[in-house]
Structure 1
Amino acid sequence: MRAVGLIVEYNPFHNGHAYHLQASKEVTGAEVVIAVMSGDFLQRGEPALVSKWQRTRMALLNGVDIVFELPYCYATQKAETFANGAVSILDAAGTSFLCFGSESGDISSFLQTIDYLEVEQRTFNENIKQYIGTGVSYPKALSLAFQQLPDSEKYLDLAKPNNILGLEYIKAIKHQKSNVIPMTIPRKNANYHDQDFSSATIASATSIRKAIFNDSNGKSAIDQYVPEPTKQLLKEYFQSNQVFHQWENYWSYLQFRLIQSSPEELREIYEMEEGLENRLLSAAREANTFHEFMQKIKTKRYTWTRLQRLCVHILTNTKKEEMGLISENASYLRLLGMTTRGKEYLNKTKSHLSLPLISKLSSYKGKEINLDIKAARVYSLGIPTHLKTQMLDQEFEQPPIYIR
């Protein structure tokens, strides 16, 4: 059975994801779809809208066959680290293809750009360093540095977020000497960062979340942009937990963590750069909301996403030393859910998996999973107090979701 891998967040699963999933099966001819999905906190430094278990159900009811969790130590990272962790999971699971969405939609442009950058790597790195020295953010420096290379217009547009991520996936495949074959399909209608609806049927996850939080009728406003299982599962989650997760749910906890910490303690937090801790402490004493806090600490040098990721690490008390011990490749496969077809695939490949398969958290004793446990505990703080125990029990005792 050939499997195609998708690296996803499904925050939430929408029509664009459904298109990507179906197109990936068609372009690869794969019989099985494996999703590596971020857990409780995401690459943009945000809590997931609903739990990973509910997003796993969304995935399985919308056509995915197997869902593995992308651990916290990769899910809340820059593109290179995110890609290495996700690709290593797909490789360990025996996946034949990785199919990602991109603004380019042409795999040859990625492969040519990889070869080109290998030739121009020294100049490219020097250009990046020079632009960072001017005070711009790393993604901006990356784009500007690439534009300065000779004939760069013939290659991939590195000002586009999904092109950058796709490039990192292919670099990870090459670096790991993986047999996974990369493929790409063009993103359809909506752009990754779109804040508002611009199409009749496909919208970005960003605009869907905005509609949910900004409109009292948000759930009905998004109906045309999400499949039926997503509508039902969002409704069920809200009825059960009385919230959708967003940063404001966690602001009081983050503020407490900041104001009770010394500058020296904050300097130990992962991704904290010297001097930034004082800016955060000052803002935490003055801000009344998370959004107000972010507006106070935002600078030209640090992107909103970069600062939000730092806030996640402060919230979870994730130290530089702790992250420094993590391998660039994943060390386990945590199975969140499967369909009958997915179970058949795992039964056939189980003996060939190159990483331990974890079906229940309480059965795994490896120290490297501690960050996931800590993230789950913090995530549960975002729901009403009387429901937290139930959510945490699910984290430790929930067997993989099985959709027949």
Structure 2
Amino acid sequence: MSVTGVIVEYNPFHNGHIYHLQQARSKTNCDVLIAVMSGHFTQRGEPSVIDKWTRTRFALEYGVDLVIELPFNYATQSADYFASGALTLLNALGIDTLVYGSESNNADELCQIAQTITHQQDSYDQLVKEAMNQGERYPTACNQALSVLLNKEIRLPNDLLAFSYIKEIIQQHYPIQPVSIARTNDFHSVSLNGKISSATSIRQALKDHTDISQTTPMAKELEKNPILLEDFYDLLYYELISNPHLDQYHLVDEGIDKLMTKKIMTATSMEDFISSLTSKRYTQARIQRTILSILINQPKGLYPIDYIRVLGMTAAGQGYLNQIKKKTPIPIISNFSSCQSPLLDLELKATKLYACALPLKKRLAFIEKEYKGKPIRI
């Protein structure tokens, strides 16, 4: 049996993702397609514009057989930790192929770079550390190290993620073949570009109240109540001015809590606040991840992944789960009652935070669905 995995956020699910799923099936001829998906918050430290249950349903309707959740503790981290969590889950579920999007579409070169770096890991880590000590951002520091060791650079966002995936596969000796699909649009573009537009441009269009109906099958759902980071500004303001122990939270170090407390006093919006903190040292994504960590009071460090949580499945996905559940090294769960884990505690806190941006009458049912709800089946 051929089992293919994809690592996704679907923030939001759009026509480009439909193309990706079609290509994944075409290239691998897989029997089962598994997606590991971020929950209510994403890798760049932003809330998903629409909840994970709606995104799960669309993923299943358009070709995914099994959707599993990437825990908040990994979904909102930098590329290497994001990749580590996602591939831990996919490998435990027995995938043989990972299909990912890439600007360069050159899997062989990324594999060669990852293999070389793995053999020179100590030198690479030291160069990255030295660059960061000089004030460089982590992505810049990584590229400087690559330039010194290999005279190469990886600068495009999906290539950087792909590099993290491939590096993790090699370092952990996972029996997974990476397969590349060329991206069909500009990841960073904020302008809609026909039927296949980037998730970034669709989110911007939602902010601008621009028609998105040609870009995504979930347009009607998105237009009802898109969730944006700006929705949490008042909660952040209160946390920063009232909590004297911010430095106990994940990513809050080097005195950034004091700087944040200072900047919040004069900022006029979440966007203004983030812009005032973004620097050579801290990327916008790093600032946003730090904001999330503060908002849910996230302890420092990462917890080991100790469960596989199913968000949704087709008949084929359920059949595959029945085959593999006794073979997986990590238990498979469908609800909170079957597992106790600090990762699930964080997931519930994240859902409670996300619910704060919903209409008041919907909040309780939304939170209850997190620990009472069952996987979606189609």
The answer to whether TM tops 0.5 is yes
Q: Which ranges of structure 2 fall in alignment gaps of 5 or more residues?
A: none
State the Cα deviation string for residues 17-63 of structure 1 (Å, max 9, x = none): 11111111111110211000000111100011011101101111111
Instruction: Provide the rounded CA distance (Å) in 2 between the counterparts of 1:362 and 1:196.
Output: 44
State the Cα deviation string for residues 358-402 of structure 1 (Å, max 9, x = none): 111233223432111111111111112221101111111110000
Q: Does 1:257 align with 2:239?
A: yes
| Corresponding residue of 1:31 | 31
| Corresponding residue of 2:364 | 389
Q: Does 1:208 align with 2:190?
A: no
Same amino acid, percent of matched pairs = 37
State the Cα deviation string for residues 77-101 of structure 1 (Å, max 9, x = none): 0111111110010011111211111
Contact 1:98 1:181 (C-alpha < 8 Å) held by counterparts: yes
Contact 1:58 1:233 (C-alpha < 8 Å) held by counterparts: no
Shift of 1:184: 1.4
Q: What is the total number of aligned residue pairs between the two structures?
A: 378
Instruction: Provide the rounded CA distance (Å) in 1 between the counterparts of 2:317 and 2:47.
Output: 28
The alignment yields a C-alpha RMSD, in angstroms, of 1.7
Contact 2:306 2:341 (C-alpha < 8 Å) held by counterparts: no
| Corresponding residue of 1:222 | 212
Q: Does 1:373 align with 2:371?
A: no
Please report the TM-score for the alignment, with normalisation by the length of structure 2.
0.95
> Any idea what SS the aligned residue of 1:286 has?
coil
Contact 2:49 2:222 (C-alpha < 8 Å) held by counterparts: no
Instruction: Provide the rounded CA distance (Å) in 1 between the counterparts of 2:346 and 2:126.
Output: 34
Instruction: Provide the rounded CA distance (Å) in 2 between the counterparts of 1:367 and 1:144.
Output: 36
Please report the TM-score for the alignment, with normalisation by the length of structure 1.
0.89
Instruction: Provide the rounded CA distance (Å) in 1 between the counterparts of 2:34 and 2:220.
Output: 23
Shift of 1:129: 3.1
| Corresponding residue of 1:47 | 47
Call closer, same or farther: CA 1:257–1:225 in 2, change over 3 Å.
Answer: same
Instruction: Provide the rounded CA distance (Å) in 1 between the counterparts of 2:72 and 2:181.
Output: 27
Larger mean CA deviation between 64-73 and 106-115 belongs to: 106-115
| Corresponding residue of 1:231 | 219
What amino acid does structure 1 have at the position aligned with 2:358? I
Alignment of 1:133-172 (within 5 A): 133-150=133-150, 152-153=151-152, 157-172=153-168
Instruction: Provide the rounded CA distance (Å) in 2 between the counterparts of 1:244 and 1:120.
Output: 45
> Any idea what SS the aligned residue of 1:223 has?
coil
Instruction: Provide the rounded CA distance (Å) in 2 between the counterparts of 1:75 and 1:102.
Output: 19
What amino acid does structure 2 have at the position aligned with 1:247? L
Contact 1:46 1:309 (C-alpha < 8 Å) held by counterparts: yes
Alignment of 1:311-326 (within 5 A): 311-320=291-300, 323-324=301-302, 326=303
Instruction: Provide the rounded CA distance (Å) in 2 between the counterparts of 1:266 and 1:37.
Output: 29
> Any idea what SS the aligned residue of 2:50 has?
coil
State the Cα deviation string for residues 140-166 of structure 1 (Å, max 9, x = none): 22223322335x24xxx4111111211
Instruction: Provide the rounded CA distance (Å) in 2 between the counterparts of 1:43 and 1:340.
Output: 30
What amino acid does structure 2 have at the position aligned with 1:385? L
Shift of 1:76: 0.6
What amino acid does structure 2 have at the position aligned with 1:344? G
Residue of 251, 259, 270 corresponding to 1:271: 251
Q: Which ranges of structure 1 fall in alignment gaps of 5 or more residues?
A: none
Larger mean CA deviation between 163-172 and 174-183 belongs to: 174-183
| Corresponding residue of 2:189 | 194
Instruction: Provide the rounded CA distance (Å) in 2 between the counterparts of 1:43 and 1:270.
Output: 15
| Corresponding residue of 1:401 | 376
Instruction: Provide the rounded CA distance (Å) in 2 between the counterparts of 1:396 and 1:387.
Output: 16
Contact 2:71 2:343 (C-alpha < 8 Å) held by counterparts: no
What amino acid does structure 1 have at the position aligned with 2:69? E
Shift of 1:316: 0.5
Instruction: Provide the rounded CA distance (Å) in 2 between the counterparts of 1:192 and 1:161.
Output: 7
